[in-house]
A and B are shown apart, each in its own frame.
Chain A
Amino acid sequence: MTVLDAIGEVQIPLLAAMLLLGCATKVLQMMRAASADENIGPTALFPMHLRWPLAIVLCAVEGTLGLGLLVTAGQFGEHAPADGIRLGSCLLFLVATGALLELRQSRPEVGCGCFGDFSTAPVSARTLARSALLAIAGLATVWVGPIMWPRTVAGALGLLAILCTEVLLIGLLSPEVGDGLIRLGYSAPCELRNVPAARTLAVLRRSKHWRRYASLITSEVPDDVWRELCWRFVVFPARYQDRQTDVVFAVFLQHRRPAVHVALVDSTTGAPLESPTGNQRSRWAGLARLISPANGLLPVFNTAQAGSAPADLPLSTDL
C-alpha cells in the first residue's frame, strides 16, 4: 500500500464522521429551536420560507452521505454507488466552501452552522480552509478501492498517524474546538460577571473599613451605587464635623476578602476630607515610619514623594 493509498483510505471514515457529526448537531439545533426561524449557516442566504426546507435537505444529504461512505467503504468500494457517494461528498464540501465565501461577504455576522449551535462564530479564513480541506479529502477518496484492515502493525500505525495528523489539522482549523474548550472550563472574568449589589453591601458591612466609618453614616440606604468593571462603588450620606459629607466605598468584586477603598468627601464641594480616624497608612507606610530618616536607616524622601502621599489623605490603603 502506497502512502497515497493510505491517505485516501483514512479520508473515508474521517469524512463520514464529520458528515454524521454535522448532521446530528444540526438535527439537535432544529429540535431545540422547533421553528423555521432558526438559521443554519448558509440558509441565512435564502428567503425565510426556504430556510427550514433547505436545512432539512442539508441534514438529510449529510446523513445520507455519511452513512453511505461507511456502508460503501468495504466490499462495495469498487462499485458505482461508492464512487457516486464519494463524488457527492466532494461536491458537497465544494459547494459548502462557495456558500461560506458568499456568507462571509454578504452576512459576515452569521456563523457557518457546520455543527449547529457550536458553530456560531462568524465565518473566518479557518472555516473556509477547513471546508476546502474536506473537499480535497473527498476528492482523494474517489479512486480508493475497498478498505481492508491493515495486515501489519506497522501499517496500522501508519494509518493511525495519518488519521491523527489530519484530525489535529482539522481541529486547528475549527473555531468550534476553542469554543468547546472555553465552555468546558468556563469561568467568566469578573468584568463580565453579574454580582448582586446586595452581596456587595453584605461584604462591605463586614469589612473593617465599614466599621471605621459606620459612626459617621447617617442612612442605612446608600445614596448611589454603581459599578465599573470589577469595582462597585457605594456612596452613603454622612455627617462629619457638622458638615454634610459622603462616604464613598469602592469594593472589588470577588468572593473572598475583596479589596475595599474608602474616601470621605464633602458633599457640597466634592473635596476629599481628612479621615476621622486619623491617618490610615499602609503597613508599608507604618514600617517606613519605624525606620524613619530620624533613625538613619532610610534615605530621606524628597518633598515631591512626600506630597504624593499627604498626611491628610482620607482613605485607607491597608488592603
Chain B
Amino acid sequence: MRSAHLVCCDRCASLTGSSRGGAAADPAGGSAGPGSTASATTVARRRLLKSAVFRPQAELAPSGWGADAAGPAADDAGRQRVGFADAFQLPRTVSGTILDVSPHVLILGEGDREQRFALTPDAVAWRGTQLEPAALLQDDRAVVRLHPLGRNVADRIWANIGRVTGIITERSGNQLLVDEGATRGTEVIALQPRSLGRIQVRFPTLEPGYLVDIIGVRHRGEFIGMIPATSQPAYPAHRLPAPPLVSGHVPDSIAGSATWHEPRDEPPGILGVSYPALDPETGCAEDLAADMRPGYSRMPFLAIGSVLRISNDCTGRSCLIPVTGCTPIGRLFNDRCVTCGTSPRGRVADLTLASFIALGGELERGCFNATITIGE
C-alpha cells in the first residue's frame, strides 16, 4: 500500500482541505497562507479549469498551447496521459524518525505509525558524511529513498539533512545569520573549523550581503553547515547584475540547475517545484510580504498549478511536476550546477525533497543539471 507520503501531488487534494475553499480564499493567485506553497487543491482546480477553457481548441488544432492544455485533469485517463509521476515508476521517498536500525532493517516512526524497511546490500546512508546504515542513530530524522522496484525496500538514507539558502545578514565568528526570505525567516548556520575550508572553496565571501547555500545536519535545533550546496555568485544580493535579455521566441525548454529545499509548510512527500518566475501580479507570497526584486532569472511567467516537465540531464529521468511555490531567494542566484558538466544557466527549478529524489538527485550534491519544458 502506498502511504499518504507517497502520493503524487495531483492526488493530494484529499489531504489538504476543501475543493473550493482553497482557491476561493486565495484570490491573489494561490500563494496560500504565509508560506510560498499553494495547496494541492489550487493546483488541481486550476488544471481543471484550464482544461475546460482550452479543450475545444486543442481538439481543433492539436499543436501549440491549446494542445498542451487539453484534458490533463478532465478524468483519470487524462491524468495518466499527461504523465504525472507515478509512485510505482519513480523512486519514492519516506520521511520519519529512526526507531531502530540494523544492517538489514530500518524502522521509521511517524506519529503513531511504524514502518519497516529492508535495506539493500548496497544501501548507504549520509549524516554529514557517507556512512553505513547501521551507524545511524535512534531519533535521527531520516529521509529514505525506496527502491523503485521493491516495496518497502530502501537503498538510500539521509539523516538529519538540512539546507539553508539565503542572504548572510550577520557573521559572528563561525556563525552566520542567514535571511531565508520574508516568509521563512532567519536561520543560524554554525560552521565548524573542519568544514569551513571546504565551504569557502565555493563560498569565499562569507560576509553580510552575500548569498550562501549550505547543506548540513540538524542536531538539537542547531544547523551545522557541512558542505557547499553550489557555488557563490560573485555579486552581493543587493546588487544583482542585469539578467541577459531574451528576444524573439522564448524556447519551450530551458536548461539550467535544479536544486531542492527543505519542506516547511508543504505536505510531506509532495511532488512539486518552486519556480523562480511566478507572475509578479499574483504569484508569490514572498513578494507580497516583502519588496523582492525580480531577481536574476528572466524566465516565462507561470503560476501555481502550471505543469513543467523536468528532466534530470545527468540520469535522463524526467517527470511532469506541478508548480507549487516560488523561490524568491533561489532566483537571486546566478550560479551553475556542475553535477554532470556545467549547466548553461542558473536555477530554473527548486524542487521539493520528494521530487528531487524521484528525479534521481542526491541530496548532498545540492543540485543536478536539469532541463525544464513548459507547456507539454
Contacts and interface: CB of A to CB of B under 8 A. Distances in A.
B300 A263 contact: no
A261 B303 contact: no
A232 to B, nearest CB: 8
B14 interface: no
Given A33-B239, A110-B234, A224 B46 contact: yes
Interface in A233-276: 233, 235, 246, 248-250, 261-263, 265, 267-268, 270, 272
A297 interface: no
B146 to A, nearest CB: 33
Interface string B122-158: 0000000000000000000000000000000000000
B50 A250 contact: yes
B23 interface: yes
Interface in B210-236: 231, 233-236
For the residues of B in contact with A, the DSSP-based class is: loop
A226 B279 contact: yes
B250 interface: yes
A183 interface: yes
Contacts of B26: 224
B50 A189 contact: no
Interface stretch (B82-90, B163-171, B201-209): B201-209
B271 to A, nearest CB: 19
Contacts of B298: 192
A261 to B, nearest CB: 5
A315 interface: yes
A239 B244 CA distance: 47
A182 B239 contact: no
A179 B281 contact: no
A37 B279 contact: no
B259 to A, nearest CB: 14
Given A110-B234, A224-B29, A183 B375 contact: no
A87 to B, nearest CB: 31
Given A107-B231, A227-B303, A192 B280 contact: no
A231 B193 CA distance: 52
B46 A233 contact: yes
A156 B299 CA distance: 49
A38 B45 CA distance: 46
B245 A182 contact: yes
Give the interface centre of A37, A38, A39, A268 by most chain B CB atoms within 10 Å: A37
A37 B236 contact: yes
A117 B300 contact: no
Contacts of A88: none
Interface of A: 33, 35, 37-39, 44, 47-48, 107-111, 117, 120-121, 179, 182-183, 186-189, 191-192, 194-197, 221-233, 235, 246, 248-250, 261-263, 265, 267-268, 270, 272, 308-309, 313-315, 317
21 contacts: A37-B239, A48-B204, A107-B234, A108-B342, A109-B346, A121-B244, A182-B245, A183-B245, A186-B245, A189-B246, A192-B246, A194-B280, A226-B305, A228-B303, A229-B65, A230-B65, A231-B65, A248-B49, A248-B50, A270-B73, A315-B52
